Structure 1
Amino acid sequence: MSQHFKVTKNSDWIKIKRISNFAFHSCAVYLDHRLVATYYEGDSFHLQINYPVHHIVVVGHLFQYGHVIPIAEQFFVQTHSRARNFKSGDILVASDNVNESLTGYIGHSAIVVSDDQLIESPGGDPAIRKASIQQFLEKHPRHAQFRPKSAKLGKAAAQYAEEYLQEYKARVEKGEKKPVFSYTLSQSLEDPWEYIYCSKLVWLSYYKGADYKLENDYLWFSPEDLYTNLKDNKDFKKIYEHENVDFVVNT
């Protein structure tokens, strides 16, 4: 069944984006069974909220042969009894992608280096960057958060990620753009300076920074490998997992 809308919820706003090819005349938004807005133009729109929301329904109105045909989709918002927090060394791994055609096949991951910052290899240039945790949560709602049971282990991995980023920036300033973002299968997982990708960065941070090796099954260490490794790992605990985290293939 085709999906027509994508809904992203933050603490104080909801973003609704039309992702189908249907040319809806208008879209109505219901929050917890109450009509709160109707939109007539644009493919995406934001709605400010200042109260908890649990159930979202988006209804697109399509004109066909002189009739209005409503097409509705509903979304359930997961609520939590306690606020989440983030610590150095936490690992975020998502099964969804900004490019939705890759969701379930590639995914994304990053390592937390402070209570509101992470280091990631997002694809393209720069190959490595520091960014807010919030932007990761907004781009990748279908994610899990894992924390090493040893705070010392997590801090060592985060420290390596910080130093790795600084060395990368120094090389770029000298005109040497290494490593390059790539999933090429011929690369060495232990070599940090030829190629890099998101889950390899996490692997390197723990392997080189904390002397902790996350096991790999095939040629590249994918976000799926990272998730599978961590979910039953005695050295890590799961802090959070979205109910729809799902990897389609074992990579």
Structure 2
Amino acid sequence: MENSVTSGFTDGNKINIYIDLNYPIECIQVYRGNQLVRTYSPSPVIRLQNRNVQLLTIVCIFSSGYKHSTVFSPNFRQPEGDTVGRIFKPGDILCASDNYGDFLPPGYMGHSAIVVDQDSIIEAVTSHPQVKKSPIDEFLTIHPIHVHYRSKESDSGNKAANFAEEFLQSYNDKLDNGLAVPPFTFSNQIPLEDLETGLYCSKLVWHSYYQGANIAFNNDFFLFAPEDLATTLQNDSRFKQIYKHPEFGFKIDL
């Protein structure tokens, strides 16, 4: 547990702290030196300014009263992988074979998302809201073991990204108006082509290209899992690989 409750990285004066909410955390305290800066409600991401470049201590207080402390130096780790100078374009696909926190070991489920601009992805997740726009840096930090693909036709990538943006807008409008939204589910009773009854991360990527760019990725059986997405892209001449972590790979085919 000591290595997975908190993680993060620094980017200049900005600090990104990631909290694994699979643990029963009641509140999070941030100390700069010995001084309490702020107490937060449980949140998966906390972003801070550290202009004075001081040591930070993140204290996660569990419901049992246990306190988990992590000290971050001013230069704690950057996102792993060859990210320096890497350019992200609309429609790029990020597919990870590792998992958030201790949910599963690498190679057994993974995660995927579609890039919509240089800084952002749209992804389907298990926490609320289950479709959201997130910083690319967050994905790279939580999922260092990933592969990055790009459509060779920029128009296809733009169309796929536009579909993801429009779907997110529609999803948020429904939430704001108290209407039903498709839940995150791996049910085998819901066809891959049906995005309104249920979704998951790689299914949203599939629909972004299917409905947005008229590209239907091949699926072998059951779920169109991140493993299926990565395998399809590896063998699809319409896409090129931008980056692949040396430990990337899946151990099962869902």
Q: How does 1:125-204 map to 2 (within 5 A)?
A: 125-204=128-207
CA, structure 1 residues 4+245, in 2 after alignment: closer, same or farther (shift >3 Å)?
A: farther
Query: Does the alignment pair 1:48 with 2:110?
Result: no
Q: Which moved more, 1:100-109 or 1:191-200?
A: 100-109
Partner Cα separation in structure 1 for residue 180 and residue 128 of structure 2: 9
Please point out which of 102, 107, 112 is paired with 1:104.
Answer: 107
Task: Check whether the contact 2:10–2:74 (CA below 8 A) recurs between aligned residues.
Answer: no
Q: How does 1:113-132 map to 2 (within 5 A)?
A: 113-132=116-135
Task: Check whether the contact 1:14–1:48 (CA below 8 A) recurs between aligned residues.
Answer: no
Superposed displacement of residue 191, structure 1: 1.3
Higher radius of gyration, 1 or 2: 1
Please point out which of 82, 85, 88 is paired with 1:83.
Answer: 85
- Gapped runs of 5+ residues in structure 1? 18-36, 54-76
Tell me which amino acid in the other structure corresponds to 1:48.
P
Partner Cα separation in structure 1 for residue 202 and residue 81 of structure 2: 26
Query: Does the alignment pair 1:212 with 2:238?
Result: no
Please point out which of 217, 220, 224 is paired with 1:221.
Answer: 224
Task: Check whether the contact 1:94–1:141 (CA below 8 A) recurs between aligned residues.
Answer: yes
Q: Secondary structure at the match of 2:147?
A: strand
- Gapped runs of 5+ residues in structure 2? 20-54, 58-66
* Equivalent residue, structure 2, for 1:93: 95
1:172-220 deviation line (CA, Å, top 9, x unaligned): 1221231111111111111111101100000000000000000001111
Q: Secondary structure at the match of 2:73?
A: strand
Superposed displacement of residue 113, structure 1: 0.4
CA, structure 1 residues 10+146, in 2 after alignment: closer, same or farther (shift >3 Å)?
A: farther
Q: Secondary structure at the match of 1:168?
A: helix
Partner Cα separation in structure 1 for residue 92 and residue 131 of structure 2: 17
Tell me which amino acid in the other structure corresponds to 2:125.
P
Tell me which amino acid in the other structure corresponds to 2:172.
K
Tell me which amino acid in the other structure corresponds to 2:100.
V
Superposed displacement of residue 232, structure 1: 2.4
Task: Check whether the contact 2:108–2:250 (CA below 8 A) recurs between aligned residues.
Answer: yes
1:103-133 deviation line (CA, Å, top 9, x unaligned): 3211000000000011000113212111111
Name the % identity: 38
1:137-177 deviation line (CA, Å, top 9, x unaligned): 11111111100000000000000001111111111122123
Query: Does the alignment pair 1:247 with 2:250?
Result: yes
* TM-score, length of structure 2 as denominator length: 0.71
Partner Cα separation in structure 2 for residue 146 and residue 248 of structure 1: 20
Aligned length: 203
Partner Cα separation in structure 2 for residue 230 and residue 44 of structure 1: 38
Partner Cα separation in structure 2 for residue 100 and residue 200 of structure 1: 23
* Equivalent residue, structure 2, for 1:235: 238
* Equivalent residue, structure 2, for 1:25: none
Partner Cα separation in structure 2 for residue 124 and residue 206 of structure 1: 24
Task: Check whether the contact 1:95–1:246 (CA below 8 A) recurs between aligned residues.
Answer: yes
